[in-house]
């Protein structure tokens, strides 16, 4: 495959030098480069393949070193990054020192926000539009033709998010240029949900889209070229008139609505963008795209290839890199088993059926499980309503997205004393997705809520035991957290969960130190004890961050046994903080407690193993902390085992 064009593009200025007819070839090169890299490192494949032409057209027409481009979610930014001087970073995509999988201002001034959550681009774009106007820097067709234009790029699944609706409501009040590009691929991570998704389905097959596709066939030429643009002025104006959708739903927000147009037809996209960039009022350009465009296996199965692991293509078939059983898979099986036994159990997820493992339950229990789309707040309130009727609701979501529904957890769940059960996937550091997706504050958020119960699993048996406990717990909010990781096989007994009680998983005759691990860090603590002194360290699976095991804490501290707490969560407000607070409440010596967890700074994209090591909560980090305590207490020389 030819790769003659892409290496010549070091900035959008280089892109603008190319004739339009060469851009489809560049699009092919970009798709090939992205696909080849994601095969090696994993990453968001289908979303990026679907927007190549849109990104090329946007950068061809606008100058985003000056104009504003705001991404929604941001997982579709690879083409944007390749066009803005970051091709050298692609080879280490989502790895330390390489290209982040999401927009990152630390990488480039072309990235205005670190983005990883849906629904935000319209509101932040409105803010920049208002700020530029106040500063006298906004584009005006007559008074300030060199001013900044603002573009928000958002998908059809994200635009139905509540925050996006609030942004639309305010965008329509702007008295200046403001462009929303709606990337409509008829897909969220999975299939889109809701009435607005049905509206988009109806719109795509309407006469407007068909006429626009026909009109686009007549558009071709080269840019820049002043004489050509002058000759095409009338045709472009008529094209734009034909594209205006007067009955659009977006008209009710005060936005002129254009399209749908073909999001893969570069010439028509460029001409339309040239036209709409001069409009001095809020406008939405609706572009229809194909998620996973350009490769048969991604087009046919965009959900699987939304964010795949490394893979190989062999004889037209795809083989994913093998990995062990995940916590997500363990949760999926355990939930289905519980639902089989208890007809009161219902479940929901917010646009993440595959990512949370709830897709299996949706297939088995279609009348008791729902994917609500990207609306965590609604899902939480819906489940609160179901709990009020006597159902037993389970909500499966990523830790990073739990933050979006905290108000509803507070108001409609905890304040009411309702037994909604949170199954928090991707808790702790998440590897390549980096800071935008780390689950570092779920315990801190939930721990402030009266009567909340917060647990963590260390393996599959403990996860099943925790879910069983939650199914029978009806006194209020409960939560179980587990990481984006494979499940380790363990050989110790898993006893049923008893509220507020830790479980000893390593005992010695004369303990000089106790390590309390919350979640899978307990397994790292076991290995650390073996490395330092297995005859002097007790290890506990803490199980509960609220309520913590106060009796155990008191017993250890009254016997002058130092405690190390370990968690894959922020030290601030986490399990270790809860242990110190409980010790203080009992008037115990808190100087004997050492807390290990995620530090008070952002952790960049790299492997989960590297991130745990950086935080000092891997085997080496826990071992080092134990050795420091032994040395400080002048305990007899510990046995040190080297690997």
List active site positions. Answer: 291, 376, 404
Tell me which H or E stretch contains 167: helix 162-171
- Provide CB contacts within 8 A for 174, sequence distance 6+: 126, 129, 130, 281, 282
CA dist., res. 519 & res. 108, Å (int): 36
Contact criterion met (CB below 8 Å) for 32 and 7: no
Are β-strands 593-598 and 282-288 bridged in parallel, bridged antiparallel, or unpaired?
unpaired
- Provide CB contacts within 8 A for 374, sequence distance 6+: 118, 119, 157, 158, 160, 161, 188, 350, 351
CA dist., res. 275 & res. 272, Å (int): 5
- Provide CB contacts within 8 A for 150, sequence distance 6+: 67, 68, 70, 125, 128, 129, 132, 177, 178, 179
**The tokens of 190 are what?**
């999975």
**The tokens of 546 are what?**
């609220």
369: Cα within 13 Å, side-chain hemisphere: 23
In this structure, the number of other CB atoms found within 10 A of the CB of residue 530 comes to: 17
CA dist., res. 427 & res. 463, Å (int): 13
- Provide CB contacts within 8 A for 457, sequence distance 6+: 327, 463, 466, 480, 481, 482, 519, 520
Question: Taking the chain, what is the end-to-end CA distance rounded to the nearest angstrom?
Answer: 47
Q: Which of 430, 373, 425, 371 is nearest to 402 (CA)?
A: 425
- Provide CB contacts within 8 A for 238, sequence distance 6+: none
CA dist., res. 140 & res. 280, Å (int): 7
Size of the chain in residues: 643
CA dist., res. 559 & res. 225, Å (int): 84
* Ramachandran angles phi, psi of 123, nearest 5°: -65, -45
């Amino acid at each position: 495959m030819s790769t003659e064009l892409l290496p010549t593009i070091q900035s959008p200025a280089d892109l603008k030098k190319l004739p339009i007819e060469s851009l489809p070839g560049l699009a092919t090169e970009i798709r090939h480069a992205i696909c080849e890299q994601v095969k090696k490192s994993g990453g968001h494949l289908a979303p990026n393949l679907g927007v190549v032409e849109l990104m090329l057209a946007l950068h061809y027409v606008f100058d985003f070193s000056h104009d504003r481009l705001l991404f929604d979610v941001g997982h579709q930014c690879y083409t944007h990054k390749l066009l803005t001087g970051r091709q050298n970073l692609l080879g280490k995509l989502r790895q330390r020192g390489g290209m982040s999988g999401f927009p990152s201002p630390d990488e480039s001034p072309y990235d205005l926000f670190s983005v990883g959550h849906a629904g935000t681009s319209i509101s932040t774009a409105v803010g920049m539009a208002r700020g530029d106007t106040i500063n006298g820097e906004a584009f005006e067709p007559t008074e300030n033709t060199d001013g900044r234009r603002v573009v928000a790029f958002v998908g059809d699944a994200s635009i139905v998010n509540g925050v996006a609706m609030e942004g639309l409501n305010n965008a329509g009040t702007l008295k200046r240029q403001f462009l929303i590009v709606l990337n409509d691929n008829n897909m969220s991570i999975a299939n889109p949900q809701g009435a607005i998704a049905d509206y988009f389905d109806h719109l795509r097959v309407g006469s407007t889209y068909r006429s626009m596709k026909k009109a686009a066939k007549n558009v071709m030429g080269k840019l820049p070229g002043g004489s050509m643009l002058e000759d095409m002025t009338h045709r472009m104006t008529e094209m734009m008139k034909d594209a205006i959708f007067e009955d659009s739903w977006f008209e009710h927000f005060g936005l002129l609505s254009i399209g749908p147009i073909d999001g893969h037809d570069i010439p028509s996209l460029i001409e339309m963008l040239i036209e709409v960039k001069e409009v001095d009022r809020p406008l939405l350009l609706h572009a229809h795209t194909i998620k996973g465009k350009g490769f048969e296996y991604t087009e046919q199965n965009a959900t699987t290839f939304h964010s795949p692991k490394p893979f190989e293509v062999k004889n037209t078939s795809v083989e994913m890199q093998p990995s062990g059983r995940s916590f997500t898979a363990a949760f999926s099986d355990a939930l289905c088993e519980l639902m089989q036994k208890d007809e009161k159990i219902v479940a929901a997820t917010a646009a993440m059926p595959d990512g949370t493992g709830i897709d299996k339950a949706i297939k088995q229990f279609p009348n008791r499980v729902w994917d609500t789309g990207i609306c965590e707040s609604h899902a939480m309130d819906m489940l609160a309503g179901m709990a009020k009727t006597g159902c037993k609701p389970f909500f499966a979501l990523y830790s990073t997205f739990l933050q979006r529904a905290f108000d509803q957890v507070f108001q409609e769940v905890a304040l009411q004393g309702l037994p909604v059960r949170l199954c928090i996937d991707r808790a702790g550091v998440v590897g390549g997705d980096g800071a935008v997706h780390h689950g570092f504050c779920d315990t801190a958020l939930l721990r402030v809520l009266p009567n909340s119960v917060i647990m963590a699993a260390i393996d599959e048996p403990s996860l099943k035991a925790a879910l069983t406990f939650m199914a029978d717990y009806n006194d209020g909010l409960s939560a179980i957290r587990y990481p984006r990781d494979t499940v380790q096989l363990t050989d110790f007994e898993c006893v049923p969960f008893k509220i507020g009680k830790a479980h000893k998983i390593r005992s010695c005759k004369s303990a000089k130190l106790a390590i309390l691990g919350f979640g899978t860090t307990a397994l790292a603590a076991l290995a650390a004890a073996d490395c330092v002194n297995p005859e002097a360290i007790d290890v506990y699976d803490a199980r509960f961050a609220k309520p913590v095991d106060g009796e155990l804490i008191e017993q250890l501290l009254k016997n002058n046994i130092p405690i190390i707490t370990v968690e894959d969560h922020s030290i601030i407000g986490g399990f270790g903080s809860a242990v110190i607070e409980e010790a203080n409440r009992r008037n115990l010596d808190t100087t004997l407690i050492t807390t290990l967890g995620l530090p008070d700074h952002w952790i960049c994209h790299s492997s989960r193993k590297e991130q745990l090591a950086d935080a000092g909560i891997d085997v080496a980090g826990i071992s080092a902390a134990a050795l420091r305590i032994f040395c400080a207490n002048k305990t007899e020389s510990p046995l040190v085992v080297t690997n």
